[in-house]
């Protein structure tokens, strides 16, 4: 097992507990990107930012509001504390206790089933590559002359930026933009194309409006011509619609995507095919080298922690149980953890229409119509459920409070092949945000339920004794 991130740790833990001799090789921090520089610290920072925003906006509940006094160094200690609380679960000690041999060294292939790590040469029947990904740095003139943050270094910063400029308006850029803005920084986000391109365009646009309302400047379809030093900060010369302008900032965060971490593995010696998108695998996650699998961000598949863990399960079934398990991303979920959250499961409306044409129906329900949302003043957002016209669920796009939690129902529904009637008929506790799912599903049936044919049938049935 090469790599001790989410994917590698899952395979190693399960394999060892099932009695397989397991060797785990990791050159960096146990827990990988998600624990140390990704999901965990970013969500901890967002939680602190949400607390600051609650102080700032408490007037809506009849409580005197004020501008919060943010101790950014203390916020950083909070982030570090969250990582420290989770780290023992991913530690060397825990995995050695499970029976895993952990080697802290860099691994490289000598052959298809032979590795060298430190001063050890390892021969294995099966090898799983899970080395993850790293930040992609765009070739902008001047970027190499100045200091910049990536998601791997931003959480080491203990001083609140006066004006943080973020390159990239994907999930990472957007989340960290809102977090820093709510903690008191000025924030500008620059995106060469369209912000949040993978999400439902309508709901993404609404989210961007919410962020703009908080004072975040978002510049879409904007090219960066060069980066220049500017006193103690920096200046970006940008071009939009043929006009060049200058944006000055104190700090720069590059969040322009990620690239697979394959350097130094000597994949060619093992006959493993790969390209700029990652190691090439089939649906069983097998590489071109017999006995070698690849999972997680190092492949060209979806790059999410939950996908890495899911892929680990596929490999376990293939390697240890010799079952021909294959990946199925039809119910793939992802969430942008802004406030409000934006969640996607399966196909968006546009994707569904491209695949199924006119055989697509969209049911929607606004959070403003949900009583719990009204009680908590969390009324911004909409749930859009995409189905075939027979009620087969294809996807769900949800913008609103707790959207990531609401997405679970739709993942299960798609995986189990449920129709919309199953969710519409669900007995949901009142008052909860979960009723948004039931209400959105019920909207699909309203035209039929309240049609003139149904009303006529009710009149006829009403005459019966």
What's the CATH code of the domain at 198? 3.50.50.60
Torsion on CA atoms 69, 73, 75, 77, rounded to nearest 10: -150
Task: Judge if 250 and 164 occupy the same domain.
Answer: yes
What is each CA distance from 182 to 51, 68, 74, 178, in whole angstroms? Answer: 9, 9, 15, 6
d(CA 195, CA 170): 6
Q: What is the 3-state secondary structure (H, E, C) of the chain?
A: CECCCHHHHHHHHHHHHCCCCCEEECCCCCCHHHHHCCHHHHHHHHHHHHHHHHHHCHHHHCCCCCCCCCCHHHHHHHHHHHHHHHHHHHCHHHHHHCCCEEECCCEEEEECCEEEECCEEEECCCEEECCCEEECCCCCCCHHHCCCECCCCHHHCCCCCCEEEEECCCHHHHHHHHHHHHCCCEEEEECCCCCCCCCCHHHHHHHHHHHHHCCCEEECCCEEEEEEEECCEEEEEEEECCEEEEEEECEEEECCCEEECCCCCCHHHHCCCEECCEECCCCCCECCCCCEEECHHHECCCCCHHHHHHHHHHHHHHHCCCCCCCCCCCCCEEEECCCCEEEEEECCHHHHHHHHCCCCEEEEEEHHHCHHHHHCCCCCCEEEEEECCCCEEEEEEEEECCHHHHHHHHHHHHHCCCEHHHHHCCCCCCCCCCHHHHHHHHHCCHHHHCCHHHHHHHHHHHCCC
pLDDT of residue 462: 82
Task: Judge if 216 and 308 occupy the same domain.
Answer: no
Task: Judge if 309 and 349 occupy the same domain.
Answer: no
Q: Is there a domain that residue 328 lies in?
A: no
> Global pTM?
0.95
Q: Which among 271, 99, 239, 172 is positioned nearest to 180, based on CA atoms? A: 172
Task: Judge if 126 and 169 occupy the same domain.
Answer: no
pLDDT of residue 455: 73
Q: Is there a domain that residue 1 lies in?
A: no
pLDDT of residue 80: 98
d(CA 198, CA 410): 18
> Structurally, how many domains does the chain consist of?
3
Task: Judge if 15 and 85 occupy the same domain.
Answer: yes
Domain containing residue 398: 333-449
Q: Is there a domain that residue 458 lies in?
A: no
Task: Judge if 250 and 264 occupy the same domain.
Answer: no
Q: Which of 294, 319, 344 is the last residue of a domain?
A: 319
Task: Judge if 363 and 432 occupy the same domain.
Answer: yes
Task: Judge if 355 and 414 occupy the same domain.
Answer: yes
pLDDT of residue 446: 83
Q: Is there a domain that residue 455 lies in?
A: no
Give the angle subtended at the CA of 59 by the CAs of 366 and 46, to the nearest 5°.
65
Task: Judge if 78 and 149 occupy the same domain.
Answer: no
Task: Judge if 284 and 381 occupy the same domain.
Answer: no
pLDDT of residue 129: 98
pLDDT of residue 426: 96
Q: Is there a domain that residue 266 lies in?
A: yes
Q: Is there a domain that residue 359 lies in?
A: yes
pLDDT tens-place values along the chain, 465 residues long? 999 999 999 999 999 999 999 999 999 999 999 999 999 999 999 999 999 999 999 999 999 999 999 999 999 999 999 999 999 999 999 999 999 999 999 999 999 899 999 999 999 999 999 999 999 999 999 998 878 999 999 999 999 999 999 999 999 999 999 999 999 999 999 999 999 999 999 999 999 999 999 999 999 999 999 999 998 899 999 999 999 999 999 999 999 999 999 999 999 999 999 999 999 999 999 999 999 999 999 998 899 999 999 999 999 999 999 999 999 999 999 999 999 999 999 999 999 999 999 999 999 999 999 999 999 999 999 999 999 999 999 999 999 999 999 999 999 999 999 999 999 999 999 999 999 999 999 999 988 777 777 777 777 778 887
Edge-to-edge strand list for the sheet holding 251-254: 217-219, 186-190, 163-167, 251-254
Task: Judge if 127 and 15 occupy the same domain.
Answer: yes
Q: Which of 257, 292, 311 is the last residue of a domain?
A: 257
Q: Is there a domain that residue 326 lies in?
A: no
Task: Judge if 115 and 61 occupy the same domain.
Answer: yes
d(CA 141, CA 306): 36
d(CA 344, CA 435): 18
Q: Which of 238, 257, 276 is the last residue of a domain?
A: 257
What's the CATH code of the domain at 438? 3.30.390.30
């Amino acid at each position: 097992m090469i790599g001790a991130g989410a994917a590698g740790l899952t395979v190693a833990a399960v394999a060892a507990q099932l009695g397989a001799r397991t060797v785990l090789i990791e050159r960096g921090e146990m827990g990988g990107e998600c624990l140390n520089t990704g999901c965990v610290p970013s969500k901890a920072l967002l939680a602190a930012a949400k607390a600051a925003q609650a102080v700032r906006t408490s007037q809506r509940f009849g409580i005197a509001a004020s501008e919060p006094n943010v101790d950014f160094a203390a916020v950083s200690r909070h982030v570090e504390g969250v990582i420290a609380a989770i780290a023992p679960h991913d530690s060397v000690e825990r995995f050695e206790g499970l029976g895993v041999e952990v080697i802290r060294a860099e691994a490289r292939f000598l052959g298809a089933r032979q590795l060298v790590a430190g001063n050890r040469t390892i021969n294995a029947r099966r090898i799983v590559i899970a080395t993850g990904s790293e930040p992609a740095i765009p070739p902008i003139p001047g970027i190499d002359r100045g200091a910049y943050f990536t998601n791997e270094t931003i959480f080491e910063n203990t001083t609140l930026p006066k004006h943080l400029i973020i390159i990239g308006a994907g999930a990472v850029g957007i989340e960290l933009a809102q977090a820093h803005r709510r903690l008191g920084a000025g924030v500008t986000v620059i995106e060469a194309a369209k912000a949040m391109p993978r999400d439902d365009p309508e709901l993404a646009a609404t989210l961007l409006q919410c962020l703009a309302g908080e004072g975040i400047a978002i510049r879409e379809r904007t090219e960066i011509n060069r980066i220049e030093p500017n006193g103690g900060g920096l200046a970006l010369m940008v071009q939009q619609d043929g006009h060049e302008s200058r944006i000055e900032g104190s700090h720069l965060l590059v969040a322009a995507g990620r690239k697979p971490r394959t350097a130094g593995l000597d994949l060619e010696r093992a006959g493993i095919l790969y390209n700029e998108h990652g190691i090439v695998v089939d649906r069983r996650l097998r590489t071109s080298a017999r006995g070698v699998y690849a999972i997680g961000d190092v492949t060209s598949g979806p790059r999410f922690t939950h996908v890495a863990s899911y892929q680990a399960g596929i490999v376990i079934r293939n390697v240890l149980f010799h079952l021909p398990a294959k990946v199925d991303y039809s119910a793939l979920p992802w969430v942008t953890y802004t406030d409000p959250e934006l969640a996607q499961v399966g196909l968006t409306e546009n994707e569904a229409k491209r695949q199924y044409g006119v055989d697509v129906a969209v049911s929607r329900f606004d959070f403003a119509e949900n009583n719990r949302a009204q009680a908590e003043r969390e009324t911004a957002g909409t749930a859009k459920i995409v189905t075939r016209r027979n009620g087969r669920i294809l996807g769900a796009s949800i913008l609103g409070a707790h959207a990531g939690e609401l997405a679970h129902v739709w993942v299960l529904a798609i995986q189990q092949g449920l129709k919309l009637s199953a969710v519409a008929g669900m007995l949901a506790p009142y008052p909860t945000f979960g009723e948004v799912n039931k209400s959105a599903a019920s909207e699909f049936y309203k035209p039929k339920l309240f049609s003139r044919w149904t009303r006529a049938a009710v009149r006829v049935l009403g005459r019966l004794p």
